[in-house]
Structure 1
Amino acid sequence: MEQRRLDYLQRILNARVYDVAIESSLDLAPKLSTRLGNQIWLKREDTQPVHSFKLRGAYNKMVRLTPAELARGVVCASAGNHAQGVALSARKLGCQAAIVMPVTTPALKSDAVRALGGKVILHGDSYSDAYAHALELESRHQYVFVHPFNDPDVIAGQGTVGMEILRQHQHPIHAVFVAIGGGGLISGVAAYIKAVRPEIKVVGVQMTDSDAMIQSVKAGRLVALRDVGLFSDGTAVKLVGDETFRLTQELVDDFVTVDADAVCAAIKDAFEETRSILEPAGAMGIAGMKQYIAQQRLRGEELVAITCGANMNFDRLRFVAERAEAGEEREALFAVTIPEERGSFKRLCETIGQRSVTEFSYRISDQREAHVLVGLSIGSRSEAPDIRRSLARQGFEALDLVDDELSKEHLRYMVGGRSRLGENERIYRFEFPERPGALMRFLSCMHPDWNISLFHYRNQGADYGRILVGIQVPDEDLPAFREFIDTLGYRGIDETANPVYQRFLR
């Protein structure tokens, strides 16, 4: 084991990355440092020529190919950033590059690959689908495959990020926070840091819906996810590599999972600090660091977060801006029940007091009770229970919705959609790749006797879509309906029992 560590240290020290990469800066983040009570440093890999660390590993792999291998051309699979690294390296080395990318890849990334001379092939909905197709092309055309993470030369190239951090910050560091997709970056960074300054903690960060590495480490074996979330496309990996798993299991000290709201808040943090806009994967290190500080109650420590990418589609910023408030825990969202009588609204407003109202939605639907959706500005998440209790003291039942995805994604835009005709209605929330024909595929798979009683879709400017669907299904058809849901191929969540649906839409 020790010999393997020394082997990786030697590989990293001898890595050839600076023909294409820069030594990115390690910048103090004064606003974050003050707010979080620790010295926060950002390792700015988002400032690389392709706005990601990925060109380090790609070039270190490709520069070691023989002239004969370069003449055959290379192929890779990538959600975007590795593709740009391979395309740039191919242009530098004078070889052809075929790049297989999921159809869900942001246009910003696929267009950048084409601009660098790479041949883009869109295939599948995830990295894993693209990877399988790239292997077919490798066999068919005798290309050299450049793996995005599970290759010692690629890992060593990414490890130069860790080498630079220790060279740039020679004082004590408590922890370094690294986003994990397939595990190439954290494997290389951990390999170097643990060989040179093993007292520094290396903390991996994954999305709650794309945590293949964390599940694998917990199980002690490789675990393949059935599906992955699409928000952080740069880390949407169903199965990590055996080599990255081995290194991560051996060298990484701790792990943190973060959700989309936390990442959106971290994107906002980075923008306010640097005036740069990180992509979701690029902001995961900051999001994980913030969560780790809160969990461990850290004060006065030196902490480094790697901002590993900034290839963000502009249209996705709408979603980021909307969800950043929730991620910062600065908005409380409640479903409040009040008597349907004169003076109730005034009494509710008096109970709210001087707090800023961010949302207020109501529609009459019952002679006895009214259900109101209320959004309020708060200083911290801890204030929400106090608000709920103050409402209860005035006789107003309040349901805290801040963690309810149905409310945040759909219901706040469609309060009042109650119908007496919705008999046998089943309500489902779906997430699917935003691609031509996806909606038609959904509709064509459905039994003709099942009526759609509710449909809500809102384009978030992202590369995935979200719909809320009500389908009227007789009880005798439930087995066939459940089979339909299981074989549809889209991620579906049954929201029929959700109290928000029961209160506002049933």
Structure 2
Amino acid sequence: MGSISPDAKLPWIKTPCVLSPQLSRVAGCNIYLKLDLLQPSGSFKSRGIGNLMLHAVAANPDVHFYCVSGGNAGLACASSAAALCKPATIVIPVTTSEMFKNKLLDLGARVFQVGKNLTAADLYLRENLLAKDPRGVYVPPFDHPHIWDGAATIIGELRDQLDVPIDGIVCSVGGGGLFNGLMQGIESFRWSGRKPHVVTVETAGADSLNASILANAHVTLPEITSIVTSLGVSRVSEETWKWSQAPNTQNVVVSDADAAVSCVRFADDARLVVEISCGAALATVYRGDLRERLGKGLTDAQWAEKNIVMIVCGGSGVSLRTLDQYREEYGPLTTIKV
């Protein structure tokens, strides 16, 4: 793909990173929130998918983007296409909500709703749309180097924004595009002290990275049983499996209830609304995992000086009504109090 002009308009933005007194009090250390829910698409995927699409336009301005998605990748493709003034077609399964479909239409995307799942929708896109369009460019959700490069921009921003050592970074992981970018970004800089430790978080039933770590092999989950569909990837990327073996990484698995109720707590604490995939990472604060994983052996005073960045990855699959349902249905099923 072609090179990008320094004057090119980027389809993502530099997002704020703010200290959260509320989450810091709960965790017992300094918790910073990297607010990627403020990206144009509503999630961090604007970075990676936007970067891939930017490279495609640099190589050939006459393009039409195609993406299969039941969630945030589709929104990132549609919003990036709008920013680049290029057409986009998104194919969504029949199970996709009207709310999500309308968001795509609002962004100017052409939308086809076919297939009972993403596999069927992807087959339709490839055989009936992409194969017939010589201008067509396929936009994958997470497994591409340009996507990882886009996610890596988070690290450069954090180094510019924070004047304290970054001891840890916490992110949710599905296919692994965000995690790959974070690790790649960390490796691209020199650090005055230890490299930041990266904690990846999954929900039980969508924990394909954890399954690989336990098996000491890159494995595929037989099925996804978690309600967190945005993290529901049965096999992480090969790059994710490789990065997970780095010494500065750890993996945590939380329950659907933990992730759901963390979204409710976060709305109360931070006055921000995020979907349940983001709640998985936030659950490590509310459950106490951070102290156990990153502060073991430290005194309270030593732990209080640590600086942890939560990647608030965002997501579109949430509403105030959703949070009310989470509180009622999952509140009794977790130790996290609301």
How high is the TM-score relative to the length of structure 1?
A: 0.58
* 1:79 aligned residue: 70
Query: Is residue 2:131 matched to residue 1:139?
Result: yes
* 1:309 aligned residue: 314
- Per the TM alignment, residue 145 of structure 1 is displaced from its structure 2 partner at its CA by 0.8
Secondary structure in structure 1 of the residue aligned to 2:223: coil
How high is the TM-score relative to the length of structure 2?
A: 0.84
RMSD: 2.9
Runs (4+) of structure 1 moved beyond 6 Å?
Answer: 13-18
- 1:255 maps to amino acid: N
Task: Give yes or no for contact 1:265–1:328 (8 Å, CA) kept in 2.
Answer: no
Structure 1 gaps of 5+ residues are: 1-10, 332-506
Question: Relative to structure 1, is the Cα distance of residues 185 and 85 closer, same or farther in structure 2, using a 3 angstrom cutoff?
Answer: same
Task: Give yes or no for contact 2:22–2:270 (8 Å, CA) kept in 1.
Answer: no
Total equivalences in the alignment? 320
Task: Give yes or no for contact 2:228–2:277 (8 Å, CA) kept in 1.
Answer: yes
Question: Relative to structure 1, is the Cα distance of residues 265 and 276 closer, same or farther in structure 2, using a 3 angstrom cutoff?
Answer: same
Question: Relative to structure 1, is the Cα distance of residues 232 and 77 closer, same or farther in structure 2, using a 3 angstrom cutoff?
Answer: same
Question: Relative to structure 1, is the Cα distance of residues 15 and 102 closer, same or farther in structure 2, using a 3 angstrom cutoff?
Answer: farther
- The structure 2 residue matched to 1:202, chosen from 198, 203, 207, is 198
- 2:266 maps to amino acid: A
* 2:326 aligned residue: 320
Cα distance in 2 for residues equivalent to 1:214 and 1:163: 28
- Per the TM alignment, residue 88 of structure 1 is displaced from its structure 2 partner at its CA by 1.5
- The structure 2 residue matched to 1:148, chosen from 119, 127, 141, is 141
Question: Relative to structure 1, is the Cα distance of residues 42 and 21 closer, same or farther in structure 2, using a 3 angstrom cutoff?
Answer: same
- 1:302 maps to amino acid: N
Task: Give yes or no for contact 1:24–1:47 (8 Å, CA) kept in 2.
Answer: yes
Query: Is residue 2:186 matched to residue 1:193?
Result: yes
Cα distance in 2 for residues equivalent to 1:174 and 1:67: 37
CA displacement, residues 168-204 of structure 1 (integer Å, 9 cap, x when unaligned): 1231222100111110011001111233235210111
Query: Is residue 2:49 matched to residue 1:44?
Result: no
Query: Is residue 2:290 matched to residue 1:293?
Result: yes
Cα distance in 2 for residues equivalent to 1:147 and 1:85: 11
- 2:64 maps to amino acid: G
CA displacement, residues 142-168 of structure 1 (integer Å, 9 cap, x when unaligned): 421111111111111111122212221
Cα distance in 2 for residues equivalent to 1:27 and 1:14: 31
Greater fraction of residues in strand = 1
Cα distance in 2 for residues equivalent to 1:295 and 1:250: 19
| 1:100-499 paired onto structure 2 within 5 Å | 100-136=91-127, 137-142=129-134, 143-196=136-189, 197=191, 199-229=195-225, 231-250=227-246, 253-291=249-287, 292-293=289-290, 295-296=292-293, 298=295, 299-300=303-304, 301-314=306-319, 315-322=321-328, 323-330=330-337
Cα distance in 2 for residues equivalent to 1:104 and 1:15: 41
Cα distance in 1 for residues equivalent to 2:51 and 2:87: 17
- Percent identical pairs in the alignment equals 26
Cα distance in 2 for residues equivalent to 1:277 and 1:37: 23
Cα distance in 2 for residues equivalent to 1:320 and 1:111: 23
Question: Relative to structure 1, is the Cα distance of residues 63 and 289 closer, same or farther in structure 2, using a 3 angstrom cutoff?
Answer: same
Task: Give yes or no for contact 2:92–2:121 (8 Å, CA) kept in 1.
Answer: yes
Structure 2 gaps of 5+ residues are: 296-302
* 1:398 aligned residue: none
Question: Relative to structure 1, is the Cα distance of residues 262 and 66 closer, same or farther in structure 2, using a 3 angstrom cutoff?
Answer: closer
- Per the TM alignment, residue 112 of structure 1 is displaced from its structure 2 partner at its CA by 1.1
- Per the TM alignment, residue 220 of structure 1 is displaced from its structure 2 partner at its CA by 4.6
Secondary structure in structure 2 of the residue aligned to 1:254: strand
